[in-house]
Structures are given as structure tokens and as C-alpha cells.
Amino acid sequence: MRRLPDWFLLAAPGVALFLLNLAIVWPLLSLGFPAEYSSIEGAFIGIATHLRHHFSLTGWFPYWYGGIPFPNTYPPLPHVLTAWWSWVSGHSVALSYHQVSAVVYSLIPPALSCLALSLRAPRWPAWMVGLFATLASPSAWLIHPIATEMGGWRHARRFQVLATFGEFPNLTSVLFCLIALSLLALSFRSRRPVWIVLASLACAATALSNWLGALVLALGALSLLLSQEDLFQPKRWALAMLIALLAYGAAAPWLPPSTIAAIRRNAPYVGGRFESTPLVYVSVLAGILLTLALLWALRVTGASRALRFAALWSYFLGGIVLMAAKRDLQLLPQAMRYHIAMELALALLIVIGGYWFLREAMSRPQLSRVFLGALLVVGAVQLPVTWEYVRSLVRPGDATQSIEAQTARWVEANLPGERVFLPGSVSQWADAFGTVTQFGGGFDNGIANPSNLGVRYQIYSSEGAGERDGEIAVTWLKAYGVRAVQVSLPDSPEHFHDFRNPGKFDGLLDLIWEHRAMRMYRVPARHPGLAFVVPENATPRVRPRDGLDTGEARRYVAALEDPAMPAAQFEWQGAGEAAITAALDAGQVVSVQASYHPGWEAWADGRALRVEEDGLGQIVLRPGSGRHAIRLAFTGGTESDLTRSASALSLAVFLVILTPPLRKRALAQGEAYLARLRAKRRLG
């Protein structure tokens, strides 16, 4: 009988794993809009819809948070994939989103198995890792609230977070992380140029999918380095650093330093409060000491490289998640979101560890085969449970009947281009149904204006406002150019009901639309647009301490409403460019109610203007007295030039690495340079 080729034996289990997972999540392939709107996936569909019609990954995005650079909307790769598939297939963006997410979901288990193979785990245990990850949810075994939330420890947590919470970008980053780690393992072993380039690109794709994935990848790369036989080999660590630098260089235009800084600033306040307390530092120090102990134990027991990696990666991710779940100690912002990656690391540890223990530590090869067979039998028993659970979560709905769609379409028809303040799920889904400009948005981590989070929290929560609740909220709305605000009453179909005091605007603002226990109020302004002429001494100078600190804002709003001030005309001429016409007297400035960013540039009558930031995080222009035609444009500034240059440099290095003559010449020049340095040191 003819032997099957090696490539078939290697690929067939992976294809089977992919098809099994695709069959499990098959209902996603025909899902457009869901029956419920509690998920953040509406924001992702909105970003992909924008890309489908206006493909630009580096400009200004005026629709969220008073405006943000497009990279701040979210790491772009998952939304690019959705928009691309919608364009290729002709399907709606919502349907394309669910189809792409189904494929990504289905690729994760075979990618995990490929990682095990790249670590030289035995073939059948490696493929069994993928099956285990398909059907088991270790986080539900370890964390009781997760099991309760799913309705049972046998349910599929990875699918639940995709379908219920919209964790498509997180899963996309996990997929690319697994691919990147496989390529890193190959690069460390063979150092072939093609593996180095592909590993760099996969690392870049991980970071461009989700910011959580970048840390998961960093911990995985550290685990790889520490799991080597000669773990302190300088060349390997230098290669890892080179790959990291090339990866960031390639991704830099879409993940610039200002975006990273915004995420670092906002993340501690999103999804709970994170603080770097002394206990956190002590816990990290203890974790480092335990890492050394774990390294020693793995060496003493003779654990395989795959098992060493699995143990270290599980330890790093498990420490982050379990300290948050069991001790309420956040070692990182949003620590619980790392539990999906933790599940995959534990799948490696359980299967590879169990097989190694029986085969190597106990010297019982027969028992190791029984172990794999038992996993297969348990998987067959578990499959119907996972199958039914997935189908219970995928429920299509009629989007036209949702309050989210009805609100978005009403705003688009009645308040075109005007900034609105929307509650909860309506805010998350608004841009999936139309083009809506909001003071909120779908990715709080990316907010450019540092005051936005606190102001929105104050308006929603009414905390400490007392009888001044409505007055404080209206002051903030006017100060930030909001022209309408919607509240959800307790019996409304909106999911989150964020407003603690939904009646705060009664008697203060005019009601302009009421529908299904949702009320829309008009916020008055002296004239349309986002540019106002105000006295220079009325511009806010100091950033508010919190949402109750309205002193600067009140003075500014009084100037906005002063009928003696000249009117200014403001018109967007594209997403990141505006034309302003205004006549100013001495001592007056132009205040633009758009978020400040160093990437803004301005010109008045052809001469460059300095773009400044006021105390509320918005733009101030000082063209001087007289009538001026002002052009305001978001170019990205010096940062954009530097990140594009870094990307071009990375691509040039990739070309050199992949082209043998160029690579040899570069290596020769590098060796000559090092020789000259050594000679200078000897002479010195």
C-alpha cells in the first residue's frame, strides 16, 4: 500500500480542525445584524463601513470623541479585513464582519497546533492541543464567575466573548500572535531570512489587530527565549530585538507613538480603575522570583522545549488573569481580558504536559497513547454541547426595529453632521447604521482629548452634582460643541441605561424627539459649526480636575453665547480638513471645538498659523485682527513623517534580508564596521 506523503500527514489534521471549527460556528456565516445590541461589535462594523467607503488609515476621524486620528479608532487590521471582504464579496459590512470573524475563530485551533509543532512537540499531541482548545474552556474551570456567566463550565468561552462581547479584534490578534510565535520559533532555530521577515510581519499584524495581543505576544516571545536550552545566547536575544524593531517599524504609521500614549493614558480608566500600587510592584517582584524557580524546576525535570514554553506562557498569562479574578489585584489594565489567550496557553500545557508526563517522566508510552485516546473520546462527548451552545447565542434580528438603528437614521436625517451625545448601546452601534458624529464613540482607549472620559462619566453618572446636575451637564455639552443629547428612560429598549438621572435636562433643554422611551434634547448654540470667535481671555487655560470643575468651561460657554461676538463660518471639506471664515477684532481668537493633536496644521490667508491647545483639549487659532480665510488640516505633522520613514526603512531591510547579494554585502559592511571599531578600541 502506497504511503501518504508527509505534507498530507502534516496538513490534513490542520484542515480537519479548521473545518470542524467552521462547522461549529456555521451560523455566523449567515448572520447580518443580531437580535441584541449589547456587544461592541457595532463600533467595529461602523469602522469597517467607514473604510469600505472612505479608505484611509492615517487621517482624521471626526465622528468619535470630538475627533481623533484614525489609528486611535482601533488597531485597524480586523476592520481592513472586514471592509476588504465586503468589497470582494459584495456582502453587507455586517454580514462580512461575522463571516470574517467565523474564519478567524476557526483558524485559531490549527494555528495553536502549528505552534506546538514548531516547538517540536510530537505530531499527534500537537494536533490534539487544537482539538482541546476547540472544545474546552479552562478559564471556566478556574474562575467561577465565568462559568456562571456562560451558564455552565462546559460551554465555549472563546465563542461567547466573540458573539456576546464582540471580541473579534482580540481573537484576530490571538491568531496572528500564534502565527508570530511559530515563526519566531523557526527563526530562532534556523535563522533563515524568510522566517525572520515573516515573523516580523506577523508580529506587526498582531499589534495592528489589538493592543492586548501585543502584550500577549511579548510574553510569548519571552517564554520562547527562556525555554531554549541555552537561554542566554546573545545572538538569539539580539535577533528577537531586531524582529521587534522591524515589526514596529512596519506598523508605525498605523500605530504611532501618540496612539500608544493615548492608550497608555486611557486604559487604566476603561473597564475599571487600575492603579500601580505598592502591592502591584511587590507582586511583580514576587512573580519574577517565581519565574526563576519555575525555570529551575523545568530544567531539573528535563521538560521538553514545548512543555517549558507552555508552562512559562501559562504562568505569565495565568498570573495576570488569576490575580485579578481571585485576589482582585490588577497587575495590568483590563487584566481579565487576557483570559482568552490564557486558555490557549493552558491547552498547550495540559495536553503537552500530560503526554510528556506519561511518556517521559513515567516512561509509560502506552499510557500516553491512552491519554490521547481519552481526550478524543471526551471531545466527542463534548462536541454536541459546544454545537448547541453556539447556536443558542447566534440569533439574527431585524435591524430596522432596533432603537439603535432608528436613532442613528433619525439623527442622520434631522441633525446631519452635528455632534450628538448618545447613550450606551445607541452610541456603540450608531455608525453601523449611518454617519453620526458623536461626543462618545466605540474605543475609549483611543481618546485624544484627556478630559473626554471624565466629562462623559460626569454627564452619565451625575456623581456629586446634586441640584446642579443638569446645569453642569449642559455646560459641558455646550463647551464641547454637542448640539443634541439623547437619554434612555428606565423602560427604553436601549441596553445599558447609562444615565443615572435621565430627567436632568427637563426644563433646561427643548425636547425635539421622543421615541420608545428615548428622549432627544436640543443643545442651543449661537450659530452652526464648530468654530467660534471668543475673547482671548475667555479661552480655558487649565484642564478641569474632574467633571465637577466647570469654572473655566462656564466662562468659555458665556463667550460662546455672547451675541456681541462676530459669527464664524465653519465647513468640513473632507474628514480631516476644514475651512473657517471669521472677522476678528484685537484680543479675539478662533476657538475650534475639535480635539487638539500635534498633527493639526493651519494657514490664514496663505500664511502658517500656530495650532494651540486650550484647557479643554480643543483647538485655539490666533490669526490676529481682520477678516481671515483659515484652512485647518490634519496632516499628522512630524510624527507622520517619522513613522512613514520608519515603515519605509523596515521594508528596505526586508528587501535586503530576502535578496542574497544585498544581504551578503550588508553583512560584509557590518563586519568591516565592527572590525574598525575593534581596531579603534585597541589603539585607544
Contact 582, 575 (CB under 8 A): no
Q: What is the mean pLDDT of residues 623-644?
A: 94
Q: What is the mean pLDDT of residues 553-574?
A: 93
- Supply the pLDDT for residue 600: 96
Query: Using only C-alpha atoms, what is the Rg of the chain?
Result: 28
Residue 679 CB partners (closer than 8 Å, separation 6+): none
For the full predicted model, state whether its pTM sits above 0.75: yes
Q: Kind and range of the H or E element at 510?
A: strand 510-515
- Supply the pLDDT for residue 364: 86
Q: What is the 3-state secondary structure (H, E, C) of 411-462?
A: HHHHCCCCEEECCHHHHHHHHHHCCCEECCCCCHHHCCCCCHHHHHHHHHHC
Residues pairing with 527 in the sheet? none
Residue 171, pLDDT > 70, answer yes
More reliable by pLDDT, 131 or 3:
131
- Supply the pLDDT for residue 665: 83
Which residue type, as a one-letter code, is found at position 110?
Answer: P
- Supply the pLDDT for residue 14: 87
Residues 298-309 have pLDDT tens digits of: 989 989 999 999
Mean of the per-residue pLDDT values for the chain?
92
Residues 82-110 have pLDDT tens digits of: 999 999 999 999 999 999 999 999 999 99
Give the side-chain half-sphere CA count within 13 A for 162: 27
Residues pairing with 522 in the sheet? 484, 510
Residue 363, pLDDT > 90, answer no
Residues 240-285 have pLDDT tens digits of: 999 999 999 999 999 999 999 999 999 888 877 777 788 888 888 9
More reliable by pLDDT, 12 or 640:
640
CA distances to 100, 429, 488 from 39, rounded to whole Å, are 17, 9, 17
Residue 397, pLDDT > 80, answer yes
Residues 44-63 have pLDDT tens digits of: 999 999 999 888 888 899 99
Residue 222: pLDDT band with limits 50, 70, 90: very high
Residues 181-203 have pLDDT tens digits of: 999 999 998 889 999 999 999 99
- Supply the pLDDT for residue 341: 96
Residue 320 CB partners (closer than 8 Å, separation 6+): 331, 332, 335, 338, 342
Q: For residue 168, how far is the Cα from the chain centroid?
A: 10
Tell me whether residue 222 is exposed, middle or buried, using C-beta atoms within 10 angstroms of its C-beta: 0 to 12, 13 to 18, 19 or more.
middle
- Supply the pLDDT for residue 684: 61
Q: What is the mean pLDDT of residues 286-292?
A: 91
Contact 34, 397 (CB under 8 A): yes
Supply φ then ψ for residue 167, to 5 degrees. Answer: -85, 35
CA distance 57 to 81: 13
In the CATH scheme, what is the code of domain 531-635?
A: 2.60.40
- Supply the pLDDT for residue 161: 95
Residues 404-438 have pLDDT tens digits of: 999 999 999 999 999 999 999 999 999 999 999 99
DSSP state letter for 358: I
Residue 320, pLDDT > 60, answer yes
- Supply the pLDDT for residue 1: 45
Residue 4, pLDDT > 60, answer no
